[in-house]
Amino acid sequence: MDLRPTASVVRCEGVDDLEQVKDAVLRSLDLIGGLKTILRRGDQVLIKPNLLAPRSYKSGATTNPHIVAALIDLSRQLGAKRIIVGEGAAVGHDTEKAFDECGFRVLATDKQVELVDFKKSEFVPMSISNGRVLRRIRVPKELVDSDVIINVPVMKTHDVFPATLGLKNMKGIIPERDKKRFHSWGLSQCIVDLNKVALPQVSVIDGTIAMEGMGPAHGTPVNLGILISSFDTVAADTVASLVMGIDPQSIEYLRLASEQGLGCGIISEIEVRGLEVEEVKRKFSRLVLESGEFLKHGIRIIEEGACSGCRNTLSAVFSKLVSGDQIQLIGDTTFVLGQDAELLADFEGRLFKFGSCAKLICPGKGKYIPGCPPHPEDVMEYVL
């Protein structure tokens, strides 16, 4: 008997057609054993999409509502007594507005299910006995009370990580202030620790319209037309990252989750059913930090030993400044980042020490931007 975790990859041709999407969701789940494997009559079901901001799913930023509609119908057919669709939008965004703009308000009314803004939830403290950074975390009561958690992330590149997928999507359940604290405490390990108490029973990764470039909100939509499902979220993320042309080991939270036993992150140990990865693989473009590109603006980058988190975050900030025609506002500035970066003690000029590893460089000089990695919005406030 093959005891490897399974993940399915299926095509979804009509991404705007409810019936075609529903058919793809059913095929995707049937290939791994069906939702009936984990859902029993009388269960409470929580469906967690990705609605980080009020943006249409056609932008690639948010979950296709037709996928959630299909999951609601299937859960109801299997006898779920209560179905909740819950989300907490990204820091600075209004979840209720996201529900409206993303089509989930209409969906909830049509399907007669509850729509919960986690920013308004009652939070329950949970102990994390095997947490590496977190020992306790507050999560919504709706999650604690649910028998089945269905995770529906979008396949996207990210401004901190190479990709944001299933494990990262669960960050949307926590209080807003903790979302920012995760950056100070070590974002990757915090995501892993959170999933130790909030790991979904199944993840259905939305690759109908994915996103590349300046994700997770401002990138370019990719009409990929696929779904990836697994009862093992680490396995689902591993398959999805390979489809995106990204090494799973380069996504720190995914590597740590695999190492700490949350699931399987080794593709040779995952049984992929349906389509093969190579049949749907499409290399996603990502933000790349190139020092020479910014020299013409008078920006100097000194980087040695920086992790992808700091590099991707700084790249995202620069891209936002360029697109907003603000890059000239930070000319004649030096950014130093990385645990091995060095700067002469007699350095003069405008200096930003970027991230926790750069804190002790040139004591008494420049401004320290805290975080592991810093939050992009915080960086914008520091530099402008």
The Cα–Cα gap between 265 and 236 comes to 9
Percent of the chain predicted with pLDDT > 90? 74
- Mean pLDDT value across residues 190-206: 99
How many other CB atoms are there within 10 angstroms of residue 359's CB atom?
12
Do 291-383 and 6-280 have the same topology in CATH? Answer: yes
- The continuous run of DSSP H or E covering 240 comes out as helix 233-243
pLDDT, tens digit, for every residue of 117-141?
A: 999 999 999 999 999 999 999 999 9
Most distant CA atoms of the chain, gap in Å: 70
The Cα–Cα gap between 151 and 205 comes to 8
The Cα–Cα gap between 92 and 23 comes to 36
- Mean pLDDT value across residues 242-269: 98
How many other CB atoms are there within 10 angstroms of residue 10's CB atom?
23
pLDDT, tens digit, for every residue of 16-34?
A: 999 999 999 999 999 999 9
- Report the relative pairing of strands 154-156 and 148-152 from DSSP bridges: unpaired
What six digits make up the tokens of 159? 């401004």
371 backbone φψ class: left, alpha, beta (φ>0; ψ -120 to 50): left
- Name the residue among 160, 157, 120, 156 with its Cα closest to residue 140: 120
DSSP 25-88: HHHHHHTTT-GGGT--TT-EEEEEE---SS--GGGTSS--HHHHHHHHHHHHHTT-SEEEEEE-
Letter string b/e over residues 204-223, b meaning 16 or more CB atoms within 10 A of that residue's CB? bbbbbbbbbbbbbbbbebbe
Q: Which residue has the higher pLDDT, 161 or 261?
A: 261
What six digits make up the tokens of 191? 């995501």
With a cut of 90, say whether residue 344 has pLDDT above it.
no
pLDDT score, position 289: 61
The residues facing 46 across adjacent strands are 84, 149
Pair 233, 194: CB distance under 8 Å: no
- Mean pLDDT value across residues 59-68: 98
With a cut of 60, say whether residue 61 has pLDDT above it.
yes
Three-state DSSP class for residue 203 = strand
pLDDT score, position 308: 65
- Mean pLDDT value across residues 243-260: 98
Per-domain residue ranges of the chain:
6-280, 291-383
Pair 277, 240: CB distance under 8 Å: no
Q: Average pLDDT, whole number, for the chain? A: 93
Q: Which residue's entry shows tokens 């190579």?
A: 278
Three-state DSSP class for residue 190 = helix
Q: Please enumerate in sequence order all residues whose Cβ is within 8 A of that of 302, keeping only pairs 6 or more positions apart, or say none.
A: 334, 335, 336, 337, 341, 342, 343
Pair 152, 48: CB distance under 8 Å: yes
What six digits make up the tokens of 262? 């949350």
Q: Which CATH number describes the domain made up of 6-280?
A: 3.40.50.11440
With a cut of 70, say whether residue 381 has pLDDT above it.
yes
E runs forming strands in the chain: 6-11, 44-49, 82-87, 114-117, 123-127, 136-140, 148-152, 154-156, 202-212, 220-222, 226-230, 271-274, 299-303, 333-337, 350-354, 367-369
pLDDT, tens digit, for every residue of 286-318?
A: 866 665 667 778 889 898 877 767 887 888 788
With a cut of 90, say whether residue 343 has pLDDT above it.
no
Pair 149, 86: CB distance under 8 Å: no
Pair 153, 168: CB distance under 8 Å: yes
- Name the residue among 128, 79, 118, 373 with its Cα closest to residue 262: 128
pLDDT score, position 292: 63
The Cα–Cα gap between 177 and 222 comes to 32
Q: Which CATH number describes the domain made up of 291-383?
A: 3.40.50.12280
Q: Which residue has the higher pLDDT, 94 or 314?
A: 94
Q: Cis bond leading into 54, ω under 30°?
A: no
The Cα–Cα gap between 190 and 168 comes to 10
Q: Please enumerate in sequence order all residues whose Cβ is within 8 A of that of 107, keeping only pairs 6 or more positions apart, or say none.
A: 65, 68, 69, 72, 85
Q: Please enumerate in sequence order all residues whose Cβ is within 8 A of that of 290, keeping only pairs 6 or more positions apart, or say none.
A: none
pLDDT score, position 1: 53
pLDDT, tens digit, for every residue of 273-282?
A: 999 999 999 9
- Name the residue among 237, 239, 230 with its Cα closest to residue 276: 239
